[in-house]
Structure 1
């Protein structure tokens, strides 16, 4: 924002005092000097002073708890813990990843017991991971509700007049004397604002001083709200997926039809496979491996894309689908994506 104050010589101006009005305590705020008289109306159903103090103590404690829960320090700590949990999820192979059986077989019995008891094999669905997400979401909500009311007045009631002392204390502050009539000086200031790209300033007067106010990037103050809403949306989507979603592998070869998917469950040091039934049938019609060099080997290093073509049959009919690398297919809330290719001959 940019301020400009136009007025008489500051050396001839009287000192101004800003008054800050605050509620006066009903007990401690009364003072009488000698010779003064004061009558107070009777108070009906007055609450005991001890009860008032107890309520204020509870409110003060609640304010401190909310301030701590919504502080930046707590948010940073939660982000670090959440990042550490995600790092563990990258270092320890998760049970729904292809090749987990071989990875699990290579672990020592002690590693299996420790990792299993701590939930490292399925850390993104562990209770403490969801607790961290919930705590971080609460921190974001409290900090947003605490900061947003302080920013809204900049939109509804922008401070177009400020004390001259405050203006002089700013780092980018300068004083210029114009030897012109007030109207000519005001026109020159408005032109200077517009030439500098600030647009036409808002002109207002207060106590004989003319102020010119302009600002740019007002909506930037709400950028943190967009970031917070985006984070909460991601957290909520991940939580709902973890609680209500269903994952599994669907191995297919051309000509095969199935309605079963397979998932891996882990109980301490034992691993077992779970079979889930889909509400439709999937038939694989073709698989394709697109090579970078057509005369090269059929290896991953020489592959640009893997493509699986299939049909889905349900009560609504037959649907043709195709998935490839980074090209999933959605059907009735289920998302099919290419996981891996296994050579069978």
Structure 2
């Protein structure tokens, strides 16, 4: 019985040691700078690839540009939407963990320096002197003058006895050692924001005709629709053109409605979106919709009489002299007449007393087309009100505020890490025959040249007190 218990304990110890070795190995992998270099290289390479291969384009574009086999291959590896792909998100996650582990590993040494109360005089005095000079006054007279002057430039100033003289020890910028961890933290925050946006955000689009509303969008590269939880209404759409005919500016007047109540409104143009509840509505495209109202002309074949009527789709109007009635049915973008496409046309339904009803087409390009019926009245389209739809790109990225926070911290951290330093100086005052000998020592963690110049200036200032 005792041997069985002993064997079980040995097995548990071996299992625990094996688990510990695996965790230690995993920790060492994520604490490796090599992993950082490899991950950054892969992210950079794939990002470059993403600039050469257009993202989220229409499948027909890829098939035309690269061939069907290459398109299918890129589809399998999510190269066509790589910034949202599982492998790109995994690389970002690995980099975030790698930076976090590296920072945790180095944190005890950094914090020991920041929190330590020991100025480590012996380390400073091992360095070569930065400056030396003599003063005819005694050290007891110089000590309060020097301490007061150095106290204006250094936050921490202490006195130390160095028989037969004295030393003034000063330090500033110890907290600047936190600059590098701040940079690391900012990068992790930026990566976390990117992952949050990738998992919880969306990118879709919606087309809204003038005067109409939408409460859902279609997700990009998907047949799925996503409810918005409110309505967005296009009150008006305007487009202006250059002389060449290309669009100069298109503007949509949008209104947000919740439970039928107006809660937000804005005129948007390209790169000036409407933002509501963290959702962005960007002006992306536009197009024409079938006209809602059409101006119809009835022309008599016997006189110059040509009455006009403004009709909506489905509306019926009587022909002059009781010759029948005409109903406006639909708009056709490209009407086919005997196998030939003749362009835009308005289709209607003509009813005449004592005769069989018939559908007729009124091509916009051929105003006299209806004369072929040889009736007392022929019908044509005199014009119609242009109607447009606005194409909106709809996005949500809850990670954006986090990314902004990370960038602010990154700027602060870089400023601290590159333009500020931890400095310590020692001013050693030793009495000599009829004078005092002053020697200045100092150390800094960066910008040694600038620190030595400032220390030389400090020596000159002290010599003039």
Query: TM-score category by the smaller chain?
Result: 0.5 to 0.7
Deviation digits for residues 209-262 of structure 1 (CA, Å, limit 9, x no counterpart): 744332333332212233223222222222122222232112234223222312
RMSD: 3.7
Given that residues 203 and 220 in structure 2 are in contact (C-alpha distance below 8 angstroms), is that contact kept between their aligned partners in structure 1?
A: no
In the other structure, the counterpart of 1:329 is 274
Given that residues 161 and 204 in structure 1 are in contact (C-alpha distance below 8 angstroms), is that contact kept between their aligned partners in structure 2?
A: no
In the other structure, the counterpart of 1:134 is 93
In the other structure, the counterpart of 1:84 is 45
In the other structure, the counterpart of 2:229 is 279
The alpha-carbon distance between structure 1 residues 185 and 316, as it changes in their structure 2 partners (threshold 3 A), is farther
In structure 1, C-alpha distance between the alignment counterparts of 2:23 and 2:167, rounded to whole Å: 42
Given that residues 82 and 129 in structure 1 are in contact (C-alpha distance below 8 angstroms), is that contact kept between their aligned partners in structure 2?
A: yes
The alpha-carbon distance between structure 1 residues 54 and 316, as it changes in their structure 2 partners (threshold 3 A), is same
Deviation digits for residues 98-146 of structure 1 (CA, Å, limit 9, x no counterpart): x535533423112202211111011112111111111111111112212
The alpha-carbon distance between structure 1 residues 110 and 63, as it changes in their structure 2 partners (threshold 3 A), is same
Given that residues 94 and 121 in structure 1 are in contact (C-alpha distance below 8 angstroms), is that contact kept between their aligned partners in structure 2?
A: yes
Larger RCO (CA within 8 A; separation ≥ 6): 2
In the other structure, the counterpart of 1:74 is 35
In structure 2, C-alpha distance between the alignment counterparts of 1:101 and 1:65, rounded to whole Å: 41
In the other structure, the counterpart of 2:139 is 182
- Say whether 1:117 aligns with 2:76: yes
User: What is the Cα deviation at residue 179 of structure 1?
Assistant: 5.5
User: What is the Cα deviation at residue 314 of structure 1?
Assistant: 2.1
User: What is the Cα deviation at residue 335 of structure 1?
Assistant: 2.4
> For structure 2, which runs of at least 5 residues remain unmatched after alignment?
1-8, 289-385, 387-465
In structure 1, C-alpha distance between the alignment counterparts of 2:121 and 2:287, rounded to whole Å: 75
Given that residues 257 and 264 in structure 2 are in contact (C-alpha distance below 8 angstroms), is that contact kept between their aligned partners in structure 1?
A: no
User: What is the Cα deviation at residue 150 of structure 1?
Assistant: 1.7
Tell me the TM-score normalised to structure 2 length: 0.51
Deviation digits for residues 63-111 of structure 1 (CA, Å, limit 9, x no counterpart): 564344223332222112112222222222222xxx5355334231122
Secondary structure of the residue that 1:273 maps to in structure 2? coil
> For structure 1, which runs of at least 5 residues remain unmatched after alignment?
1-47, 266-271
Given that residues 93 and 103 in structure 1 are in contact (C-alpha distance below 8 angstroms), is that contact kept between their aligned partners in structure 2?
A: no
Of 182, 189, 212, 1:256 maps to 212
In the other structure, the counterpart of 1:193 is 150
In the other structure, the counterpart of 1:30 is none
The alpha-carbon distance between structure 1 residues 316 and 208, as it changes in their structure 2 partners (threshold 3 A), is farther
In the other structure, the counterpart of 1:318 is 262
The alpha-carbon distance between structure 1 residues 307 and 193, as it changes in their structure 2 partners (threshold 3 A), is farther
In the other structure, the counterpart of 2:62 is 104
Of 162, 166, 169, 1:213 maps to 169
In structure 2, C-alpha distance between the alignment counterparts of 1:178 and 1:67, rounded to whole Å: 56
Secondary structure of the residue that 2:202 maps to in structure 1? coil
Deviation digits for residues 22-65 of structure 1 (CA, Å, limit 9, x no counterpart): xxxxxxxxxxxxxxxxxxxxxxxxxx9xx999988976775564
Superposed counterparts of 1:53-68, under 5 Å: 62-63=23-24, 65-68=26-29
The alpha-carbon distance between structure 1 residues 249 and 187, as it changes in their structure 2 partners (threshold 3 A), is same
Secondary structure of the residue that 1:201 maps to in structure 2? strand
In structure 2, C-alpha distance between the alignment counterparts of 1:336 and 1:86, rounded to whole Å: 26
Given that residues 282 and 312 in structure 1 are in contact (C-alpha distance below 8 angstroms), is that contact kept between their aligned partners in structure 2?
A: yes
